[in-house]
Amino acid sequence: MAWIRVGVIGLVFVLIPACTPQAEVKLETEDQKTIYALGLGLARNLAVFEFSEEELEFVVEGIRDGALKRPPKVDAKQYRAKIQTLQRSRLQAQAEGEKSASQAFLDKEAGMEGAERSTSGLVYRELEAGSGESPTKNNTVRVHYHGTLRDGTVFDSSVDRGTPFVTKLTRVIPCWTEGLQKMRVGGKARLVCPSQIAYRDRGSPPHIKPGATIAFDVELIEIVK
């Protein structure tokens, strides 16, 4: 089995022979299912490019030639810079589209009763008042949170895991660093985070798109001394 390093995102992909999209693949054995699962993993690493079906044919051809040790049709080293340029351009296009699509969601959240929008773009809304202290950015906090995309899809949740999250506020996204300092222990709040104070134009694959606005319902349980 052949290996190739893809310089664009610093990952090492295992290359395997692949079928064309037109071929119907039947998964009958555990080995076949395992190899198919490997393909799904590779696809997640390539998701940033948002290849069309036609473009994917070229990817498959490169995988096939590399895995079967056939003579390459191009010198991969000479195309590293172009791969990086392609990645940047597609990320930028995705980010701009997502920012535009997120604007209505941001405006709706900012218009909710009790919501306030800061100069950073954070939309903060208190859901339940706390009675304890407020943390500073240098504090460590224990929280429960529920993170969702603008369409309501849950991408992460300490509530679902059943285990509170402990973190220093200098080690999280700027949206959290700012938003948690507005809360008091025992309180709950909703933080709506535009991309510039969340995961910016890089996103956080596979769930958070480049340029995505995300939201967190947070309960501040404790300031950890």
What percent of the chain has pLDDT above 70? 90
- For 128, other C-beta atoms within 10 Å of its C-beta total 10
Q: Please name the residue ranges forming H helices in 121-221.
A: 158-161, 174-180
Q: What is the pLDDT of residues 150-191, one digit of tens each?
A: 999 999 999 999 999 999 999 999 999 999 999 999 999 999
Residue 6: pLDDT band with limits 50, 70, 90? very low
pLDDT for residue 29: 94
Q: What whole-number distance in Å separates Cα of residue 30 and Cα of residue 201?
A: 39
Q: What whole-number distance in Å separates Cα of residue 54 and Cα of residue 44?
A: 18
Whole-prediction pTM: 0.72
- Phi, psi (5° rounding) for residue 63? -60, -45
Q: Quick check: 212 pLDDT over 60?
A: yes
* Between 93 and 10, residue with greater pLDDT: 93
Reading the block at residue 66, the tokens are 């590399």
Identify whether the C-beta of residue 131 lies closer than 8 Å to the C-beta of residue 185. Answer: yes
Q: Quick check: 124 pLDDT over 50?
A: yes
Q: Are strands 165-168 and 140-149 parallel, antiparallel or unpaired?
A: antiparallel
Residue 112: pLDDT band with limits 50, 70, 90? very high
- Please list the active-site residues: 145, 155-156, 173, 199, 216
CATH 3.10.50.40 residue spans of the chain: 111-224
Q: Quick check: 16 pLDDT over 60?
A: no
Q: What whole-number distance in Å separates Cα of residue 42 and Cα of residue 117?
A: 40
Among residues 159, 124, 136, the alpha carbon closest in space to that of 223 is found at 136
* Between 164 and 11, residue with greater pLDDT: 164
Q: What is the pLDDT of residues 41-86, one digit of tens each?
A: 888 778 778 888 899 899 989 989 988 999 999 999 999 999 999 9
Residue 13: pLDDT band with limits 50, 70, 90? very low
For 186-212, what is the mean pLDDT?
A: 93
Reading the block at residue 42, the tokens are 């590779």
Reading the block at residue 126, the tokens are 């208190």
Domain made up of 111-224: CATH architecture:
Roll (3.10)
